[in-house]
């Protein structure tokens, strides 16, 4: 194996980086994950993840973690309701969906991000993850890289893999191609103990997901395993809306006032989310890498997940693509079919870019549909199979 006697550094301990570490360890590789979080108990942000048969779930199965996944997933969280701005339900699969259908290529079981991270962390060898490792820079040394961290530590690696997300600090060592703004911004909020704090919406959600469309805007939300509701209001605006809006996102009253103005045609029911959310709200301008990006292959450096191909979330492919990247990269790096690590990386990157481009195109197209005048009808036709 070409990884023998080579030290591998994965920068970033999200689902992609941890999955890659697990898969490489199963092949006997010497791998460390450098994560900026202080420790394993750091709060994991974001809504639950739905894993797809040919990507996220495929990686879980390859990592021999399907039993652990089944013990931690959210059985009803993949059920959805599609509604209009007045909170009228037009579609629900709550009564028709079977609770468990592993093996069905269209089944997309959901799991909390924190639960997925815990499963992956506990499957790794002791001290695989080096916490409190905020990557600053790196420079070439011998045939590898010397990585420098905010703590003052520096480590050598023969092979570096960027898994540090959309704002990757490692990516610029590979390419100067940058993401472009998609035209959509999302405002994220969380309601703790939602059953008591927002009982009407909690009952409507019923442990699943809601997608509400109206006036070229939408609200997306999902039930988390810890009793929280994570929600996103999504709308078209300029790239600098976050700074130009004048909103203090730690001021609940200001954010609620903005929502009432911008979503004035929407039912007052939705205001319960803002009145009971914890602060701060998190604005998220949505970016996407160019669909035709390309770079020169390096013999000791590559990237996976959002570091390589950040895209809008409107196809549910982000984490799934990262985990598939991990699966394919691990197989390329440990294969005897290639003459060098550079050739293995080249094969992986070529296939990854093709996959990512198709997924990003789908995400961008879905984003346009979901913020169009006919969004509700189009989404109903899609989920009804028309």
Q: Establish whether 126 is an annotated binding residue.
A: no
Contacts of residue 203, Cβ cutoff 8 Å, sequence gap at least 6: none
- In sequence order, which ranges of the chain are alpha helices (DSSP H)? 15-26, 56-62, 66-70, 113-123, 194-197, 199-205, 241-244, 252-262, 271-276, 306-309, 318-333, 341-370, 375-383
Quote the tokens at residue 212.
């509400």
Contact criterion met (CB below 8 Å) for 262 and 235: yes
Phi/psi class of residue 63: alpha, beta or left (left: φ > 0; alpha: ψ in -120 to 50)?
A: alpha
> What is the token pair recorded at 36?
């900026």
Distance in angstroms (rounded) separating the CA atoms of residues 86 and 181:
30
* 323-353 residues labelled b (16+ CB within 10 A) or e (exposed): bbbbbbbbbbbbeeebeebebbbbbbbeebb
Alpha-carbon distance 2 to 20, whole Å? 16
Pairing verdict, β 159-162 and 7-11:
parallel
324 among annotated binding-site residues: no
65 and 119 Cβ atoms separated by less than 8 Å: yes
Q: Which residue reads 């954010």 in tokens?
A: 255
H/E/C letters for each residue in 112-157?
A: CHHHHHHHHHHHCCCCCEECCCCEEEEEEECCEEEEEECCCCEEEE
Q: Of 317, 70, 299, whose CA–CA distance to 308 is shortest?
A: 317
37 is in an annotated binding site: no
Token code pair at residue 168:
């990757």
Whether 113 has a binding-site annotation, put simply, is yes
Instruction: Provide the phi-psi class of 209: left if phi over 0, else alpha when psi is between -120 and 50, else beta.
Output: beta
Q: Which residues sit in the known binding site?
A: 43, 50, 113, 306
Q: Which residues sit in the known binding site for FAD?
A: 50, 113, 306
Q: Which residues sit in the known binding site for NADPH?
A: 43
């Amino acid at each position: 194996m070409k990884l023998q006697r080579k030290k591998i550094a994965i920068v970033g301990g999200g689902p992609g980086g941890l999955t890659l570490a697990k898969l490489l360890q199963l092949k006997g590789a010497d791998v460390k994950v450098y994560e900026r979080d202080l420790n394993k108990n750091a709060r994991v942000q974001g809504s639950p993840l739905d894993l797809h048969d040919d990507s996220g779930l495929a990686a879980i199965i390859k990592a021999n973690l399907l039993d652990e996944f089944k013990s931690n997933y959210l059985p009803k969280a993949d059920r959805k309701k599609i509604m209009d701005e007045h909170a009228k339900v037009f579609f629900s699969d709550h009564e028709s969906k079977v609770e468990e259908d592993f093996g069905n290529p269209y089944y997309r079981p959901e799991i909390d991000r924190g639960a997925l991270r815990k499963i992956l962390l506990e499957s790794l060898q002791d001290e695989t993850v080096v916490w409190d490792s905020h990557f600053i820079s790196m420079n070439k040394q011998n045939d590898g890289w010397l990585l420098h961290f905010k703590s003052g530590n520096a480590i050598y690696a023969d092979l570096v893999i960027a898994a540090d997300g959309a704002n990757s600090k490692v990516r610029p060592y590979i390419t100067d191609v940058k993401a472009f703004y998609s035209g959509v911004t999302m405002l994220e909020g969380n309601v703790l103990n939602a059953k008591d704090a927002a009982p009407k919406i909690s009952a409507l959600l019923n442990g699943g997901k809601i997608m509400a469309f109206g006036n070229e805007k939408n609200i997306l939300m999902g039930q988390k395993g810890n009793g929280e509701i994570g929600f996103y209001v999504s709308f078209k605006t300029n790239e600098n809306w976050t700074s130009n809006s004048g909103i203090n996102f730690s001021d609940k009253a200001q954010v609620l006032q903005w929502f009432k103005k911008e979503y004035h045609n929407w039912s007052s029911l939705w205001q319960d989310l803002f009145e009971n959310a914890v602060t701060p709200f998190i604005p998220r301008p949505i970016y996407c890498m160019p669909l035709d990006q390309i770079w020169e292959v390096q013999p000791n450096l590559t990237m996976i997940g959002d570091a390589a191909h950040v895209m809008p979330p409107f196809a549910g492919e982000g984490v799934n693509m990262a985990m598939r990247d991990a699966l394919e990269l691990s197989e390329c790096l440990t294969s005897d079919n290639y003459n060098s690590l550079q050739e293995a990386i080249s094969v992986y990157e070529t296939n990854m870019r093709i996959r990512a481009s198709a997924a990003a195109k789908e995400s961008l197209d879905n984003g346009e549909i979901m913020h169009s005048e006919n969004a509700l009808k189009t989404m109903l036709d899609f989920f009804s199979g028309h």
